[in-house]
Amino acid sequence: MQTKKTEDSRLRRRVAKKVEDLRPSGIRRFFDLVIGREDVISLGVGEPDFPVPWRVREEMIYSLEKGFTSYTSNLGLPELREGIVEYYRRFSLEASPSRVLVTTGASEAIDLAIRAIIDPGDRVLVPEPCYVSYKPLITICHGEVISIPTNPSFKLTKETIEKYVDEKTKALVLNYPANPTGVSYTKKELEEIAESVVEHDLIVISDEIYAELSYDYKHVSIASLNGMDDRCIIINGFSKAFSMTGLRVGYLIAPDDIFNAVLKIHQYCMLCAPITSQIGAIEALRSLDEVEKARAEYLRRRNYVTKRLNEFLEVKKPEGAFYAFPNIASTGMSSEEFAERLLFEKNVAVVPGNVFGECGEGYIRMAFAVKFEKLKEALDRMEEFVNAKG
Amino acid sequence: MEDFEIEMLRILEENARISCEELAETLGVSAETVKESLRKLEENGVILKYKAIVNWEKLQEDYVYAVINVKVSLSREKGYDDIARRIAKFPEVHAVRLVSGEADFQVVIKGKTLKDVAFFVAEKISTIPEVRDTVTHFVLRTYKEEGVTLFADEEDRRLAFTP
């Protein structure tokens, strides 16, 4: 059949419905607003302000000089996978390298985990507010997102899980320390969550990308709890602890059956993570003292931000990650209005909380991944802004 | 020594001009506690001095630095400590270190002109009876001082918003 190839006369839709129906990320709009503005202090950046350790960069440069530019095994470099196993012992987990897959950033790992386990109609529990990519990725797989609002504590509990879980529920996405709330879980709190997980035979997708940035207690991987190893897909990477955001290298640790499924998808879509980044990652795992220094600095900022914010807004002390998530309801503004006016009037950029789920309305996310002086200046401006409205 | 004090010293090493109030806010203790602890640390010599790292090359007011390798001969009466103290007392001497390798001491001298430094070494260091030999290296350019790089650092290339 001959058809004229104009937009109007197309016989079928070109973009898949499930993709067309996805909502674009709410951050995008603010991105456009900030372009061309001078003197903006951005607390909207979800990436560390520390440079990638120089030793790591040197290793990558040297590897290029030596000609390491080929594919690696689908699984990733053996030395890196062994390094990851050794490294994860600090979060109380004993894994075997055969269950570690190196991915192109933790983002790929999240996508793989979801695609490997979700059949159409499977339900996935997603505690909100949460990182923006879980829900769309589940939707693309025709899974059903069950949003669990967790405010005002932002902590998932056994009771809340019990309220939302049913026989069609297959998995739970857990991200701790959490973006955007800074909430994390102690071993005891995780044990309670684990009870529900076992009882309802769920799989946990545990996004532990901020594990290094736990301030009040040691990060414990939920997979290390009794009987949980076989139910957890651990997601982690080198972006937040080692600032290697643009180098795109992450990893996933999963039980054998899920690991094999994940590997199938990975070998067809990504083949392997960039070799230069993998070589950098091996060196990063030998530069843990640099992470220590960064954590100490974030901790200082965490204490300062919490104290300052509580003088004019309400905020829970973040237990981890580098985000504060204050409640701005007292100003009478919506999250978006607050963020927009703060940008226009005071040149401070923050992310409105509703971007991270409906229950994030009334909050804003502020990343304290900026130099202390800038953070101080931003808080001064915010205080002026809030007090002028009050 | 309390935990917050170690943390406080680390902050001060990076920025000695931070106020007691700001220190108190970041460390989660009262400003009084900070003041008291600083007084104590200054008193027992943990904090020796608060000073600025100046990039004099930026100004016309340039100084001349030289690293001098000094070889000495020891005797029963005069050990390393005695000789080092004698050298260190001169205000022109910026640093004195006992080092391994060919020389015994590495001495850093700060002066106004090349001549100043050369004559100071000839007249004051070489003439110490225990000093056998000196080799003077003038500093032409400094790239890093006290952990601070003196060349333009990398700019922040991050996007304003990332999820």
* pLDDT score, position A8: 62
| pLDDT over 80 (residue A323) | yes
Q: Are the beta carbons of A27 and B161 separated by less than 8 Å?
A: yes
Say if the Cβ atoms of A31 and B28 lie within 8 Å.
no
Three-state secondary-structure class, residue A145: strand
The model's pTM: 0.87
Mean per-residue pLDDT for A101-113? Answer: 98
Range of the domain at B114: 56-144
**B159–A300 C-beta distance less than 8 A:** no
CA–CA–CA angle A63, A69, A74 (5° rounding):
110
B61 and B99 together in one domain: yes
* Beta-carbon separation of B161 and A131 below 8 A: no
Q: What distances in angstroms separate CA A382 from CA A41, A52, A103, A331, A366, one per listed residue?
A: 11, 30, 39, 12, 11
Q: Do A45 and B160 touch (CB under 8 A)?
A: yes
Q: Do the strands A203-207 and A169-175 form a parallel or antiparallel pair, or are they unpaired? A: parallel
How many angstroms separate the CA of residue B33 from the nearest CA in chain A?
A: 17
Whether residue A6 has pLDDT greater than 60:
no
pLDDT at B96: 97
Q: Residue A25: its chain B contacts at CB < 8 A?
A: 163
Per-residue tens of pLDDT for chain B, all 163 residues? 888 999 899 889 888 999 998 888 888 889 999 999 999 999 999 999 998 888 887 887 788 999 999 999 999 999 999 999 999 999 999 999 999 999 999 999 999 999 999 999 999 999 999 999 999 999 998 899 888 888 887 888 888 888 8
Question: What value does the CA radius of gyration of chain A take, rounded to a whole number of Å?
Answer: 22
- Lowest mean per-residue pLDDT among A103-117, A155-169, B9-23, B98-112: B9-23
DSSP letter string over A274-320?
-HHHHHHHHHHTT-HHHHHHHHHHHHHHHHHHHHHHTTTSB-PPP-B
Percent of chain A with pLDDT over 70: 97
Q: What is the pLDDT of residue A38?
A: 85
B126 and B79 housed in the same domain:
yes
Domain segments of chain A as ranges: 17-51+289-389, 70-287
- How far is Cα A44 from Cα B160, in angstroms, rounded to an integer? 6
Asked if residue B123 is part of any domain, the answer here is yes
Q: Are residues B132 and B71 in the same domain?
A: yes
CB contact under 8 A, A40 and B161: no
Nearest-by-CA chain B residue for A179: B163
Tell me the nearest-neighbour CA distance from A45 into chain B, angstroms: 5
Q: Which CATH architecture has domain A70-287?
A: 3-Layer(aba) Sandwich (3.40)
Q: Identify all chain A residues contacting B26, using CB atoms and an 8 Å cutoff.
A: 300-301, 303-304
Q: What is the pLDDT of residue B56?
A: 81
Contacts of B6 in chain A (CB under 8 A): none
Kindly report the CATH number assigned to the domain that includes residue B38: 1.10.10
Q: Looking at the structure, tell me whether residues B137 and B77 fall in a common domain.
A: yes
Residue of A nearest to B27 (CA): A300
Phi, psi dihedrals of residue B57, rounded to the nearest 5°: -60, -25
Same domain, B79 and B130: yes
Q: Which of A34, A300, A304 sits opposite B161 (nearest CB)?
A: A34
Residue B25 pLDDT:
83
CA-based nearest residue in chain B for residue A300 = B26
Are B154 and A351 within 8 A, CB to CB?
no
Query: Hey, are the CB atoms on A31 and B26 less than 8 Å from each other?
Result: no
Q: Is the model's pLDDT at A343 over the cut of 70? A: yes
- Whether A131 and chain B come into contact, CB under 8 Å, resolves to yes
> How high is the pLDDT of residue A2?
52
- In a shared domain, residues B35 and B88: no
- Residue A223 touches chain B, beta carbons under 8 Å: no
pLDDT tens figures, A119-138: 999 999 999 999 999 999 99
> Whole-number mean pLDDT of chain A?
94
Query: Does the beta carbon of A300 lie under 8 angstroms from any beta carbon of chain B?
Result: yes
Q: Please report, as a single letter, which amino acid is at residue A48.
A: P
The count of domains in chain B is 2
3 state DSSP class of A21 = coil
A170 touches chain B (CB under 8 A): no
Instruction: Give the domain CATH number at B83.
Output: 3.30.70.920
Q: Which of chain B's residues have a Cβ under 8 Å away from the Cβ of A179?
A: 163
pLDDT recorded at residue A83: 98
Q: Shortest CB distance from A45 goes to which of B10, B25, B158? A: B158
Condensed to tens digits (0 to 9), the pLDDT of residues A248-296 reads: 999 999 999 999 999 999 999 999 999 999 999 999 999 999 999 999 9
- CB interface of A with B, residues 27-56, below 8 Å: 27, 30-31, 34, 40, 42, 44-47, 49, 51
Does residue B13 lie in a domain region? Answer: yes
| Side chain identity at residue A50, one-letter code | F
Tell me the pLDDT band of A166, cut-offs 50, 70 and 90.
very high
Better-predicted residue by pLDDT, A116 or B61: A116
Query: Looking at residues A210-227, what average pLDDT do you find?
Result: 96
Longest CA–CA span in chain A (Å) reads: 70
Distance CA A70, CA A198 (A): 42
- CB of A296 within 8 Å of any CB in chain B? yes
Cβ atoms within 10 Å of A276's Cβ, excluding its own: 17
What is the dotted CATH code of the domain comprising A17-51+289-389?
3.90.1150.10
- Is the minimum CB–CB distance between A380 and chain B shorter than 8 Å? no
Same domain assignment for residues B61 and B35: no
Q: How far apart are the first and last CA of chain A?
A: 67
- 3-state DSSP of A329-340: HHHCCCHHHHHH
Pair (B14, B91) in one structural domain: no
